[in-house]
Amino acid sequence: MATGRETGRVKIDYQKARHRMVETQLKARGITDERVLQAFGKIARHEFVDPGLEAQAYSDRALPIGHGQTISQPYMVAIMTQSLKPQPQDRVLEVGTGSGYQGAILSVLVRSVYTIERLEPLARRSGEIFTREGLTNIVQQIGDGSIGWALHAPYDGIIVTAGSPRVPPQLLDQLADGGRLVIPTGSSSSQVLKIVTREGNSFRTETSIPCIFVPLLGKEGWNSD
Ligand code: SAH
């Protein structure tokens, strides 16, 4: 069954668009984790974009979600998710809920997702979408995630979806042994993706691809004044 929906006068087959996104943007660029690819085939990205932008939801780009923020490009969400090496029993922290799309992708891959957003309207909107989509293993908080969320630590994975000037030490503290932190670090206008793995009390850092994220604001991020 096609799952097209009327938007204006154009009927869009979202399932087909999603399948094409997985093939041409993710598989073709080296996303190989089968569970990750399945999650992208399953989560309805068009439900997470702003009204009126549904037709562009599966295009190869980030889109505005209001308040100067963006829903990341599908490939960027995919490479960050794959870098986290998500396992079914994992508990994962996401900093920067935004549209909720990254959290939704994680929610079908791990046991539970804890996600923090500093902007209340975005947190509220993503919460409504999680409920509507039946994603019940996501726990939300409004606040400064640059210092993590100590209450539910340690986490098997932490993913930061905003650009940070450095790796916040609190996030390292909140990682479980063997856990991984995926974080874009650099200047406020361009970053590189860092993957930090905890091995006992030492931390191994790998550098992945260049990227451009909106700034992480807050105590360990950029100044929010
Ligand atoms: N993961 C999101 C990407 C959102 S963009 C998605 O899939 O759509 C980054 C988000 O991080 C923005 O919503 C921004 O408000 C939020 N953010 C920035 N600094 C933050 C902080 N210190 N704590 C929590 N959220 C923060």
Domain coordinates of the chain in residue numbers? 4-211
| Beta carbon of 71 within 6 Å of any ligand 1 atom | yes
| Beta carbon of 99 within 6 Å of any ligand 1 atom | yes
Mutation to probe ligand 1, out of 53, 73, 81, 117 (largest number of atoms < 8 A from CB): 117
Whether a cis peptide bond, with omega within 30° of 0, leads into 154 is yes
| Beta carbon of 140 within 6 Å of any ligand 1 atom | no
CB atoms within 10 A of CB 11: 10
Mutation to probe ligand 1, out of 46, 70, 97 (largest number of atoms < 8 A from CB): 97
- Rounded to whole angstroms, how far apart are CA atoms 168 and 175? 12
Check: CB of residue 47 under 8 Å from CB of residue 129: yes
Evaluate the CA torsion angle 192, 198, 199, 200 in order and state its sign.
positive
- What class does CATH assign to 4-211? alpha beta
Q: Going residue by residue through the chain, which has 225 residues, state the pLDDT in tens, using 9 for 90 and above.
A: 445 555 555 688 999 999 999 999 999 999 999 999 999 999 999 999 999 999 999 999 999 999 999 999 999 999 999 999 999 999 999 999 999 999 999 999 999 999 999 999 999 999 999 999 999 999 999 999 999 999 999 999 999 999 999 999 999 999 999 999 999 999 999 999 999 999 999 999 999 999 999 999 999 999 976
Amino acid at 13: D
**Which amino acids are annotated catalytic?**
72
The pLDDT score that the predictor gives to residue 102 is 98
Q: What is the dihedral of CA 73, 78, 83, 89, to 10 degrees?
A: 130
Q: Give the DSSP letter of residue 135.
A: -
| Beta carbon of 102 within 6 Å of any ligand 1 atom | yes
Q: In whole angstroms, what separates CA 172 from the centre of its chain?
A: 18
Q: Take residue 12 and report the two structure tokens written for it.
A: 């869009």
- Rounded to whole angstroms, how far apart are CA atoms 140 and 49? 19
Look at residues 170, 141, 140, 134 and name the one whose alpha carbon lies nearest to residue 155. 170
Check: CB of residue 128 under 8 Å from CB of residue 150: no
| Beta carbon of 126 within 6 Å of any ligand 1 atom | no
The closest residue, in CA terms, to atom 4 on ligand 1 is 98
Q: Take residue 29 and report the two structure tokens written for it.
A: 């660029």
Q: In degrees rounded to 5, what are phi and psi of residue 106?
A: -65, -35
The closest residue, in CA terms, to atom 18 on ligand 1 is 216
